[in-house]
Structure 1
Amino acid sequence: MLLLMDEVFDLKCRNQWLRRRIVTLLRQIVRTMFGDIVNRRILEYVSFITSPKRVAHYLNVFKHSFWPNGARNDKKLDRDQDTKNRTRVAAKVALLSCLSDELKHIIGSETTRRGLLTIFDLFQRPILNRRLLYVLLEGVLCTLFPDKDMNRLFIKLYSKSKKSDQKNTLNVR
């Protein structure tokens, strides 16, 4: 999490010396005082969101999203440009207001704003979103099925087969 903060808020720049020092101090304080507490909270939250009751809820929402009233939903709702723009502005406002004022003061308001807008811009790229979804799905599958050696399955899935190499060689000639 701290490495992400370094990257997003660009704390490696030369003109950020004082802020880097403060963040380094905060990092040491957080690690020594709150490391176990934060880890415990994360584990509790993950345990909560992966509980059988929550997973059943997620599956129910998924089912009703794709098959409302038991039938497949073929209609795609097209939103007009004004609705898309309003949603975009609302998402930016929500993201910019999610950090505490104290943290903004320590890191710097402008640095914080630039970092959060960088995150927002990253989530506007469909290819990156798709890749993030796949990585998260792989993580969930590896966690749900630890006895199935899912990592090896994913390596096989992503590797090129000899047949596809032969086809590519024949097509090139």
Structure 2
Amino acid sequence: MISFAFAAVGVFILALYTGGVPFISLLLAVSFAFYGVIKKKVEIGALTGLAVETMIVTPIALIYLTFLYSSVTDALYLHSLSTFGLLVGAGAATAIPLLLFAIGARRIPLATIGFLQYLAPTITLFIGIFLFKESFSGIHLLAFSFIWVALAIYSLSRTKLFKRTHLVKLEKRPAS
């Protein structure tokens, strides 16, 4: 609960700073959390699950691409073989991490998956700040500090040392 409060404060600070609640970011986080839980709980192989997901999404994507291609001239830019090859390669570059995620989600605890989900955005943030010189104000630092402290508190609470120490304290309490 303490880590959740710290994370909420961090998001609240960013919401105040930007002038609005980051609905899309929160929706993305919640939807990916549910995706991870479903991947963990459904008794289906990783490759089969990815095939089912692809079968569900493909008709929607085809309808969208048909609409886009018919309404915008050169929307898909498929005039060269190299562009077509890049698009096919982009599909593989997307499918392989999804397959590996599905395999990993079955083998490691959800808490670990949640922790790992902070790595890519954090690395992206550092690349943006230090490589591309994106702006990062004191408010950003304050907000992200709350979020990272929340992550640290939650991660430490999941360790065996914390659980062992916490159990010792509970055992020393007088019975009521």
Would you call these one fold, judging by a TM-score over 0.5?
A: no
TM-score by length of 2: 0.30
